[in-house]
Homo-oligomer: A and B are copies of this chain.
Amino acid sequence: MNVKTNTLQVVHTIEQLRRLLDSMDRSSSTVGFVPTMGYLHEGHLELVKQAKMQNDLVVMSIFVNPTQFGPGEDFESYPRDLNRDSKLAEEAGVDIIFAPSVVEMYPNDGGIRILPGPQANKLCGASRPGHFDGVLQVVLKLFNIVAPDRSYFGMKDAQQLALIETFVRDYNIPTTIVRVPIVRENDGLAKSSRNVNLTSKERQEAPVIYQALQKGIDWLLESVSPEEVERRIAEFITSTSSGAIDYVQVLDYPSLGPVTEETNEMIIACAIKFSTTRLIDNIIMSTKGGYNVSNDDEQ
């Protein structure tokens, strides 16, 4: 990636952002959008890298959205550091950071809500009721404010991605969702800010998660049933590491319903606990044209 010296602009209001975007000729130049809650890590920068390659201008939002936090969750203590984020974003080539206040985003509340369907209660959503209502709310607002040609989401949070793809499809939202592959360590462990909480023994064991998912793909290609694949993955992880299974699921993607004959894409997703550290990972595979594995070899 080129390190080019662009001048990052940081704006805090919708009006300022619209003024900047209106000065562009939108018929001849494209906007790539990277929504974040800030405190940027390598995953975010991978989104920027993709956006930068495919668009003339990259807009990043930094907004810790209160409506997607539950009552017991860490909205107040969620880390915020706009100076640090601005430097990282500028180095990565972001053109505009949109960092609104809560009042700027939610000045009124007429009580209208976006209610997700059955997708929201699967995987991690089962333990976070209402979380995805808030995600869809803020995402719709941000899409309307930024009007991006393309919007970039990481495949690490596969459930969020599934919901947003479904929302965009079912409501004709005029942006293209770009899936950005999971960034992994050399040994295959998905990068996460939580990895530092692993003991060195756990860190050595943790790559078993990705190994198990890859075995899962092989078993699915051999026509082993989804239920049996889930069982084997769980057994492989627990027999070769100290990890405990939160869930292992093989589902249709992006509906997150059961795999059927109409399934075009499947996800194998899992959440594994190493003492107090909960790690998630997944592989999405296409079943079109005879179970071709896709979306996973590009990393």
CA distance A170 to B114 in the complex (A): 12
A141 touches B110 (CB 8 A): no
Residues of B near A116 (CB, < 8 A) are 111-112
Q: Which of A171-179, A195-203, A216-224 contacts B (4 or more CB under 8 A)?
A: A171-179
| Closest beta carbon of chain B to A264's beta carbon, Å | 12
Distance to closest chain B CB from A173 (angstroms): 5
- Give the residues in chain B near A114, CB-CB below 8 Å: 112-115
B119 touches A169 (CB 8 A): no
* CB closest residue in chain B, given A26: B27
CA distance A171 to B115 in the complex (A): 14
* Any B CB within 8 A of the CB of A57: no
Which of B27, B136, B169 is within 8 Å of A27, CB to CB? B27
CA distance A137 to B147 in the complex (A): 19
Q: Tell me whether A166 is interfacial, beta carbon within 8 Å.
A: yes
Which residue of B25, B111, B119, B145 is within 8 Å of A119 (Cβ)?
A: B111
Number of copies: 2
A26 cross-chain contacts in B, Cβ below 8 A = 26-27
Residues of B within 8 A of A68 (CB): none
Residues of B within 8 A of A63 (CB): none
27 A-B pairs (CB sep. < 8 Å) = A14-B172, A26-B26, A26-B27, A108-B169, A108-B170, A109-B117, A109-B170, A110-B117, A110-B119, A110-B166, A110-B169, A110-B254, A111-B116, A111-B117, A111-B119, A112-B114, A112-B163, A112-B166, A112-B167, A112-B170, A113-B115, A115-B115, A137-B171, A141-B172, A144-B172, A145-B172, A147-B174
Binding site for B on A (CB under 8 A): 14, 25-27, 108-119, 136-137, 140-141, 144-145, 147, 163, 166-167, 169-174, 254-255
Apart from A112-B171, A114-B114, A147-B174, list 8 A-B contacts with CB within 8 A: A14-B172, A26-B26, A111-B117, A111-B118, A111-B119, A112-B163, A141-B171, A145-B172
